Amino acid sequence: MSIKRPARSWVGYVMIGLTLGVPWAMGLEEAGVSLAQSEQVVEVTIKDYKFVTKQGPLRLGVPTVIKVRNEDALRHDFGSTMFEGLHTRIERDGVIVYGRGLGGVFLDSKRDAVLRFDMSRPGRHEFRCSIHPNMGGELLLLSTEAV
Ligand SMILES: [Cu+2]
């Protein structure tokens, strides 16, 4: 009978490990959610040769995520000088480009891209399509005190 005791205690140990593992995994997920909430997300749709966004002023010092989707039947460009000097991460078609001074992203028909950066300069930041020079828009970034 005494031989079975070590076996039982080993099973008990594994079960404790699993029980501890579940709340730990949930805690990580909650951390992920709160990280997502600390970003400000701008959704821009390109449609009928126009940049469409409902975005109000953005805040400086909060990571900014721009999600651009091209709904037109031809290629457009989301380009801007606002990324100059900033570490910018651009994700398109599963490929991530990361660098300083990226000029923007070209978008084929029905494609989207995600741009991430942390703006350090307040004011109006213009973006445009280099293929169609009459296409343009702007984002307004305000310092936190002004919001
Ligand atoms: Cu265009």
In CATH terms, 40-146 corresponds, of 2.60.40.420, 3.30.70.940, 3.30.300.10, 3.90.1150.10, to: 2.60.40.420
| Separation of CA 136 and ligand 1 centre (Å) | 9
62-66, 70-74, 78-82, 115-119, range with greatest mean pLDDT: 70-74
| Separation of CA 75 and ligand 1 centre (Å) | 6
Domain residue limits, the chain: 1-38, 40-146
Which residues are placed with Cβ below 5 angstroms of ligand 1, an ion? 76, 129, 131-132, 135
| Separation of CA 93 and ligand 1 centre (Å) | 19
User: pLDDT per residue over 84-128, tens digit each?
Assistant: 889 999 999 999 999 998 999 999 999 999 999 998 889 999 999
CA distance linking residue 17 with residue 11, whole number of Å? 10
Whole-model pTM: value is 0.71
Task: Specify the pLDDT at position 14.
Answer: 40
CA distance linking residue 78 with residue 29, whole number of Å? 32
User: pLDDT per residue over 9-29, tens digit each?
Assistant: 444 444 443 344 444 444 444
> What share of the chain has pLDDT > 70, as a percent?
72
